[in-house]
Structure 1
Amino acid sequence: METISQPIPAAPENLGDGESFATLLTRWARVLGDETAVTYLDHRAAADGRAVTLTWRALDERVDAVAARLAGIAAPGERAAVLAGQSADYVVAFLGALRAGLVAVPLFAPGLPGHEGRLAGALADCTPRVVLTTAADFDAVREFTAGPEVVAVDAVPETEPREWPRPDPDAVAYLQYTSGSTRSPAGVVLTHRNVLANARQACAAYGAESRTTSTVSWLPLFHDMGLILGIGAPMAGGMASVLLDPLAFLERPARWLQALSASPGAISAAPNFAYAYSASRVSESEKDFLELSRVVSLINGSEPVLPATIAKFQDAFGGCGLRPEAHRSSYGLAEATVFVSVTGSGKEPRQVTFDRDRLAAGLAVPAATGTTLVSCGRPAGQRVRIADPVTGNAVEPGEVGEIRVSGPNVGRGYWGRPDASAAVFGLPPLDPETGEGWLATGDLGVLFDGELFVTGRLKDLVVVDGRNHYPQDIEQTVEEHPAVRPHSAAAFAIEVPDGEAAVVVLERAKDFEAEVGDAVADLRAAVSAGHGLRLHDVVFLAPGEVPRTSSGKISRARCRASYADGSLAERRLA
């Protein structure tokens, strides 16, 4: 069995049992006092962003007040859902729930287009005793939840500080809900031990240091990466956190780059699409005001990392001082808190081109042409192995299989779902020293020269006529056509009477004025020539119409579901 592991050294201060993000906040409030802990750049209040700041001391006092209010409402272990917009108040609400001994459930305020079903499903699943929000969203949240007591954290009065019991490290800290696009939302159960371990792994892997580094993030705080980057790692490492709203980034990506410029020693993260989006949308005049030489790490993760995207982003911002070695390719998932592996510091992520046909057949063989994959590096203080997804047995080196993970950051299962938990978490063989099993990630990958290369998702694999096709390869091919809007394609398989067939859904480029019929024929020919695959259907939609996740990524699962139920048909362009 080939297993890779990379021990990450402990943080300078050893975090013993009984710690949580909330107890660490108190420690930093004593050490850092009136230094800034959280900055929220509110672009709704001002076009250039009105900075709302909280010092470590002020944050600790506000968290204390919210915790005291919650202690009078709910008992330890009951759930406290956070339904608020991106803000410093979200940080207060989340940490207040942890300090009161409640199980936090990071969610979002009602009104997020296309996601109210997911919100309702998560609330029904976790049955919160109390819901935390802000005064601005109070009425909408109370109407939507209709049951639990609702508390506006920005209206809670100050209170006298008090001593709070230290948590059991194996008590549940929060539930991280995964996407509910193809099934009802599932809450990953994460303990204080899990989340502190992963926050420390992230801090060590990305070069975080108290006072000299800060995190900058527009990722939603209810997402796994957004929460650890925006709250968890800063609490573990004593770093300042700078937050933007996701919509502020999507409206004008230069805002993210400007925040990086204004934050010496910045560490940030985004999915692959965001880097390509920024490179194409930030103007030359905006670049004149960017200074990116002090960026420590730019993490690219949560979807396949494309070599062309790294090159495009570096070409766009290298003149602003961005160092190529700041790029860090990463792999992770909510079931492991978030971070699993990362490329090393001081050099660009490694890229390897593999023979496309042999990779589709399950074997990674370097070739002059084919599919180029970007390494996701080595595990951050945990172990990774590649296994047969059916038998669980380790595959041979160089073979593609399911990525499996073992470490202290792996969650304890799904909330209220013992059967699903047993099928995913803690699978044998158990480690003889730690007793830990393996997490079945559902992701496909290969270990090559000691590094992890992610090839795709098991559930996204397109299998037609007995041949495997990775959807991102098909999407890259179709997006080369001028009729297709960049970063808008979704390739997936559907059931047909004689097996599976391939469908591509995409958006028409804004400046493409010709009929799409000719483009459809071109795309069919390109996919046939490049992949030996006949497309069952090509669906052109208007710009902005392809289903996306709440952070702006294309959702293949939602595309497949919308295609199957016919809801895409009425929006199809002729």
Structure 2
Amino acid sequence: MSRFVDTMVATAASAGGRVRGMTTGEPNSPTHRTWAQVHEHARRAAGALVADGVAPGAAVAVLAGDPAAIAPAVQAVWLAGGSTTMLHQPTPRTDLGEWAADTVRVLRMIGAELVLLGAPFDALAPVLDERGIRYRLLEALDGEPLAEPVEVPESSPALLQLTSGSTADPKAVRITHGNLWSNAQGMRVAAQLDPENDRMVSWLPLFHDMGMVGFLTVPMLLGIDLVKVTPADFLGRPTLWPDLISRYRGTITAAPNFAYAIVARRMAGVEADDAFDLSSLRIALNGAEPIDPAAVRAFVSAGERFGLRPECVLCAYGMAETTLGVAFAPVFTGMAVDSVDQEELAAGRRAVPSDAPDARVFPLLGPPLPGLEVQVVDESGAVRGEREVGQLRVRGEAVTPGYLTVDGPLATQDAEGWLDTGDEGYVVDGQVVVCGRRKDVIIMGGRNIYPTDIERAATSVEGVRAGNAVAVRLDAGTRRERFAVVVESRLADQEDAVRDLQKQISAKVVDAVGLRPFSIVVLPPGSLPKTPSGKLRRSAATTLVPAS
């Protein structure tokens, strides 16, 4: 039996489930549906799926834009005993031929025979028809309500979460019912979630784990009120985010670091001190990408005049391989940082405390969530001590048993159940610190240089777009390893301005890491390669650096 599905059904039938639910359609036509109403819709859709031949364990893909349509659709798949995969959504700039080819590759990889298609992507039905992909339109998915959920074991897949890599080389994280249950309960405890009083506000994409698990599945499972808009709504008007928190008295929100940097600038430009009221916010979770303390401080500074309490910032560490969360900083303590000696970190692989002006500053990401363990090991697998830098690995009930790849299943855990996160970091006073991705570390003169240090230095230069700088390794693995910096700027078409930017970026990088970039490339906005969820792709950016 699935504790996850049983709890979701019980929540919908509870008194709270008949009152609390999700509000969608902001800012033009907000509509509130209770979790009980979402469940009744899901039961009818599940009945149609079962009648259509969806069997226990079947993989069903979903492609839709409206959260109001997605919520009952994914719950219907779970009620029918299947697993859900949220397909990456094409954008106006997407080549539909390439997207269709990539989508077919994903569907074959996960073994899906059905796509649930909803607006605005129902217009892609002819593309699916051409390739023989079977689909059902969400608006027509209506059958006899399913009397009882289809029973599946805890080990059955519930979510096949596509990773943020290239869609041409897809990989899906296999999240079981047991994984989902465990991580949801761990986050409930760590974040002190209170279904009766909390209200979550989010614009995060539902094809990303933080949006899908954290800001749809968890509130639906636990019966927490949710206000949900789309990434396009946020990007079109970033101040919609604090506006929704103000009007709905939101208590919990989350976003990657770049979004806090954007909204900080927009709030700073608002003249009226009563434009927003952020005093209700108790958790503003920052995760999914490296956290820049300067961006957090800018967000706090810009929000304080609107009642934002600095203590609400919660720095977190997570990944799809643990369903979502790995570690949360303690609730309502704000951002805490660890300042360490830069040279000891780079050359000695030790995080030695330092208050020097050039000290490297890392956010403390909190202890592991209940049910998870985090360990630091060296390249031979030997456990490292406190403040010793090494490979981070994690173990626990929330950890995926494996990936699905185009070459077949791939196990994720070693014989003792440990998952290699691919990150470097250390532990101090029981809290996790992440230094960077191991594959992205730049090694020069025996020193380990983390690209995030270089990127933060570059984006501190006026004229460089926030969150749009990439440090890339050149001649990786050779004795003459070098690095380049690629940035976006609206000044990219002005020759003199570009030269000035390059000079300033070079100086800032030298100040930050003591090394000069081999090359600095300035490109117009929209040039840097990104994953479907918006993360910068460092390896792909290497092709943008002219050959020496």
TM-score of the aligned structures, taking structure 1 as reference length: 0.87
Question: Which residue type is aligned with residue 79 of structure 2?
Answer: R
Q: Once the 2 structures are TM-superposed, how far is the Cα of residue 114 of structure 1 from its aligned partner?
A: 4.9
Q: Label 1:108 to 1:532 Cα distance change in 2 as closer, same or farther (>3 A).
A: closer
Q: Is the 8 A contact 1:485 1:506 kept in 2?
A: yes
Q: Is the 8 A contact 1:25 1:235 kept in 2?
A: no
Q: Once the 2 structures are TM-superposed, how far is the Cα of residue 332 of structure 1 from its aligned partner?
A: 0.6
From 143, 156, 163, the equivalent of 2:127 is 143
Q: Once the 2 structures are TM-superposed, how far is the Cα of residue 502 of structure 1 from its aligned partner?
A: 0.1
Match in the other structure for 1:493: 473
Residue by residue, what CA displacement relative to the aligned partner does 1:168-206 show, whole Å, maximum 9, x if unpaired?
111111201102239711111111010011111112211
Q: Label 1:135 to 1:255 Cα distance change in 2 as closer, same or farther (>3 A).
A: closer
Match in the other structure for 2:514: 532
Question: Which residue type is aligned with residue 85 of structure 1?
Answer: G
Q: Once the 2 structures are TM-superposed, how far is the Cα of residue 250 of structure 1 from its aligned partner?
A: 1.3
From 464, 479, 485, the equivalent of 1:504 is 485
Aligned pair 1:366/2:392, yes or no?
A: no
Q: Is the 8 A contact 2:169 2:406 kept in 1?
A: no
Q: Is the 8 A contact 1:182 1:557 kept in 2?
A: no
- Runs of 4+ in structure 1 deviating by more than 6 angstroms, as ranges, are 417-420
Q: Is the 8 A contact 2:164 2:535 kept in 1?
A: no
Q: Is the 8 A contact 2:46 2:146 kept in 1?
A: no
Question: Which residue type is aligned with residue 297 of structure 2?
Answer: A
d(CA) in 2 for partners of 1:373 and 1:206?
A: 21
d(CA) in 2 for partners of 1:491 and 1:194?
A: 35
Trace 1:104-143 onto structure 2 (pairs within 5 A). 104-111=84-91, 113-114=93-94, 116=99, 119-134=103-118, 136-143=120-127
Match in the other structure for 1:426: 413
Q: Which moved more, 1:506-515 or 1:148-157?
A: 506-515
Trace 1:78-97 onto structure 2 (pairs within 5 A). 78-97=58-77
Q: Once the 2 structures are TM-superposed, how far is the Cα of residue 60 of structure 1 from its aligned partner?
A: 1.0
Q: Which moved more, 1:314-323 or 1:230-239?
A: 230-239
Aligned pair 1:54/2:33, yes or no?
A: yes
Q: Once the 2 structures are TM-superposed, how far is the Cα of residue 161 of structure 1 from its aligned partner?
A: 4.9
Q: Label 1:511 to 1:78 Cα distance change in 2 as closer, same or farther (>3 A).
A: closer
Trace 1:3-18 onto structure 2 (pairs within 5 A). 17-18=1-2
From 305, 310, 322, the equivalent of 1:324 is 310
Q: Label 1:519 to 1:511 Cα distance change in 2 as closer, same or farther (>3 A).
A: closer
Question: Which residue type is aligned with residue 188 of structure 1?
Answer: V
Trace 1:554-573 onto structure 2 (pairs within 5 A). 554-560=536-542, 562-563=543-544
Q: Once the 2 structures are TM-superposed, how far is the Cα of residue 338 of structure 1 from its aligned partner?
A: 0.8
From 394, 397, 403, the equivalent of 1:408 is 397
d(CA) in 2 for partners of 1:150 and 1:459?
A: 38
Q: Once the 2 structures are TM-superposed, how far is the Cα of residue 228 of structure 1 from its aligned partner?
A: 1.3
d(CA) in 2 for partners of 1:181 and 1:500?
A: 25
Q: Is the 8 A contact 1:364 1:399 kept in 2?
A: yes
Show structure 2 runs of 5+ residues with no match. none
Q: Is the 8 A contact 2:35 2:220 kept in 1?
A: no
SS at match of 1:225: helix
Q: Label 1:557 to 1:244 Cα distance change in 2 as closer, same or farther (>3 A).
A: farther
SS at match of 1:131: strand
Q: Label 1:177 to 1:332 Cα distance change in 2 as closer, same or farther (>3 A).
A: same
Residue by residue, what CA displacement relative to the aligned partner does 1:369-402 show, whole Å, maximum 9, x if unpaired?
21111100111111111112x3222112211111
Aligned pair 1:345/2:334, yes or no?
A: no
Q: Which moved more, 1:325-334 or 1:504-513?
A: 504-513
Match in the other structure for 1:66: 45
Q: CA RMSD in A?
A: 2.5
Q: Is the 8 A contact 1:217 1:269 kept in 2?
A: yes
d(CA) in 2 for partners of 1:286 and 1:41?
A: 26
Match in the other structure for 1:468: 448
TM-score of the aligned structures, taking structure 2 as reference length: 0.91
SS at match of 1:207: coil
SS at match of 2:518: strand
Q: Label 1:392 to 1:216 Cα distance change in 2 as closer, same or farther (>3 A).
A: same
Q: Which moved more, 1:402-411 or 1:474-483?
A: 474-483
Q: Label 1:517 to 1:33 Cα distance change in 2 as closer, same or farther (>3 A).
A: closer
Q: Once the 2 structures are TM-superposed, how far is the Cα of residue 449 of structure 1 from its aligned partner?
A: 2.1
Q: Is the 8 A contact 2:47 2:143 kept in 1?
A: no
Q: Once the 2 structures are TM-superposed, how far is the Cα of residue 487 of structure 1 from its aligned partner?
A: 2.3
Q: Label 1:398 to 1:130 Cα distance change in 2 as closer, same or farther (>3 A).
A: same
Q: Is the 8 A contact 1:254 1:286 kept in 2?
A: no
Match in the other structure for 2:238: 253
Taking every aligned residue pair, what percent have the same amino acid on both sides? 32
Q: Label 1:142 to 1:229 Cα distance change in 2 as closer, same or farther (>3 A).
A: farther
d(CA) in 2 for partners of 1:118 and 1:329?
A: 34
Show structure 1 runs of 5+ residues with no match. 1-16, 43-47, 431-436, 570-574
Match in the other structure for 1:153: 138
Match in the other structure for 2:162: 177
d(CA) in 1 for partners of 2:208 and 2:49?
A: 23
Q: Once the 2 structures are TM-superposed, how far is the Cα of residue 536 of structure 1 from its aligned partner?
A: 1.8
Q: Is the 8 A contact 1:212 1:264 kept in 2?
A: no
Q: Is the 8 A contact 2:11 2:17 kept in 1?
A: no
Q: Label 1:40 to 1:76 Cα distance change in 2 as closer, same or farther (>3 A).
A: same
d(CA) in 1 for partners of 2:498 and 2:203?
A: 35
Q: Is the 8 A contact 2:530 2:537 kept in 1?
A: yes
Q: Label 1:281 to 1:124 Cα distance change in 2 as closer, same or farther (>3 A).
A: farther
Question: Which residue type is aligned with residue 103 of structure 1?
Answer: S
Residue by residue, what CA displacement relative to the aligned partner does 1:506-527 show, whole Å, maximum 9, x if unpaired?
0125599643124323433443
Question: Which residue type is aligned with residue 128 of structure 1?
Answer: A
Q: Which moved more, 1:250-259 or 1:335-344?
A: 250-259
Q: Is the 8 A contact 1:504 1:538 kept in 2?
A: yes
Match in the other structure for 1:311: 297
Match in the other structure for 1:11: none
Question: Which residue type is aligned with residue 300 of structure 2?
Answer: Q
